[in-house]
Structure 1
Amino acid sequence: MKDLEQKLKNPVWYSLNETHNTSLIKYDGVQFYQPNTCSFGSFFDSGKTADALTTHSKITEKFFLVSEKDTPTIDDKYVVLEKKINGCQMVLKNLVAVEITEDIVLLTQEHIDEVYDLIWLVMPGFYQKKGFEMGKFFGIFKENKLVAITGQRMQTDDFIEISSVVTHPDYTRRGYAKQLICHTTKEILKEKKLPILHTNKGNTAIPLYEKLGFKLSRDMNWWLFRRK
């Protein structure tokens, strides 16, 4: 039984071994989510990543490996490193509650298209519609329009990651993200799990997360590869 600290060092791996096991694609020493759910993969031994990446590139064009410190190896005849995103992990230390003035709604299957469209408007890239099934999503509506969301992504028996913190550009600076993060954090605590989140280093949202009681815990880097 791995302890919480070990799981936090490799959250993709343990999410796939526990809560998200039905989404697991397993190679020798490397694990990925099904591409139509999430583009993340993980590893422990960088010496085993080259063969796995080559094989995985046959079923999806672009994908990530997520690691705290280790650098994956590739076979550059088949796979190209497109970029490395220098990220960090934050964990909840003490929740700082904020006043909830908005009606926060638990989103359902009928909202999948709206969630997808809002995320791709603000953060175009790799969110898949089946990513909605990774955890709960919450939203704020204005004039029957979804304008802000938070979601849950990686999770194990011990932690749940807050993700997809997105506000429509026409509705920023109204405190929606702050209220949604606080609400989602409380929902995770009700399950007796640790709220965590990931972001890129230098993100202007980090001070907001810190004000809500999160603290920086470690580096967590995203290596984006593509099929050659």
Structure 2
Amino acid sequence: MLDLDTQLKNPVWYSLNETHKKFRVEYDGVQFYDQEVCTFGAFFDEAKTTNASKQYSNTTDSFFFVSENKTPVVDETKIALEKKVDGCQMVLNELSDVLITEDIVLLSDEYIDEVYDLVWLVMPGYYRRRTFELGNYYGIFKDGKLVSLTGQRMQTNLFVEVSAVITHPDYTRRGLAKQLIAHTTKEILKENKQPILHTNKGNLAIPLYKKLGYELTRDMNWWLYRKL
């Protein structure tokens, strides 16, 4: 088994080789998630991304390549770079003590539509209904509706990514996200795995993540491409 640091350098790749192997689609040594679940791709040899991206774009109008420091190469007559997200990876050092006062619910399949609607309300564009299949999702309900959630995305036998940290605009500034992140992190630690997360540089949530015990460790960038 590869060590944790090696896996974290290319988390999409190793997720697709372990926990998420059933979602893997491969073209010429470049790996992608099934586009119905997630539209992330990973590679080691950027020379192979040109042909692979053309084949993958036959299944979806847009997708991401995720890489620490390599730049994918695409056929610019077929595929356009919409934007590059300058991201970063954060890894838990030691979880801070957080008082959990809310009733946090493990979300079953019956909440798939509510999760989808809340994510698209707050962060539209990339989440798919079947993204729910990547890991556990936890939520907080107020007034009979789901108002805050967090989930798990990329994962291997060594790490699990905390993702989809979402709170309805009417329920922010109540500490809901803080409690959900802490709860999700604890659940990952129970599996003896390393909690990690990804965000964009300059995200206003980074100070919160740091207070919870996460540390910035490396760049992890997203190139969003769209089929012409």
Q: TM-score range by the shorter chain?
A: over 0.9
Matched, 1:10 2:48: no
Give 1:187-206 correspondences, 5 Å limit.
187-206=187-206
Match status 1:77 vs 2:77: yes
CA apart distance, 1:137:
0.3
Cα-to-partner distance string for 1:185-215 (whole Å, 9 max, x where unaligned): 0000000000000000000000000000000
Moved over 4 A (4+): none
Structure 2 equivalent of residue 46 of structure 1: 46
Give, as a single letter, the amino acid of the residue that structure 2 aligns with 1:8: L
For residue 174 of structure 1, give the secondary structure of its aligned residue in structure 2. coil
Distance of 2:11 and 2:31 partners within structure 1: 12
Q: 1:128: which partner in 2?
A: 128
2:111 aligned residue: 111
Q: Which one-letter code corresponds to 1:4 in the other structure?
A: L
Match in the other structure for 1:218: 218
Q: Which residue of 1 aligns with 2:160?
A: 160
* Cα displacement (A) at 1:29: 2.1
1 CA distance for matches of 2:27 and 2:58? 13
Partner of 2:116, secondary structure, is helix
Report the CA distance between 1:28 and its aligned residue.
1.1
Aligned mates of 1:41, 1:74 — CA distance in 2: 13
Distance (Å, rounded) in 1 between the aligned partners of 2:120 and 2:158: 29
> SS where residue 150 of structure 2 aligns?
strand
* RMSD, aligned CA: 0.5
Q: Distance in 1 between matches of 2:36 and 2:192?
A: 29
Please give the alpha-carbon distance, in whole angstroms, between the structure 2 residues aligned to 1:92 and 1:12: 18
Post-superposition shift, 1:132? 0.5
CA distance in 1: counterparts of 2:93 and 2:159, whole angstroms: 13
Which residue is equivalent to 2:180? 180
**CA offset digits 1:93-131 (Å, max 9, x no partner):** 000020001000000000000000000000001101111
Whole-angstrom CA distance in 2 between matches of 1:76 and 1:186:
44
Would you say 1:102 and 2:102 are equivalent positions? yes
TM-score by length of 1: 0.99
Distance 2:27 2:2 in 1: 21
* Matched residue, 2:23: 23
Partner amino acid, structure 2, of 1:130? R
Amino acid at match of 1:206: I
SS of 2:131's partner is: helix
Query: SS at the partner of 2:217?
Result: strand
Match of 2:91 in 1: 91
In percent, how many aligned pairs have the same letter? 65
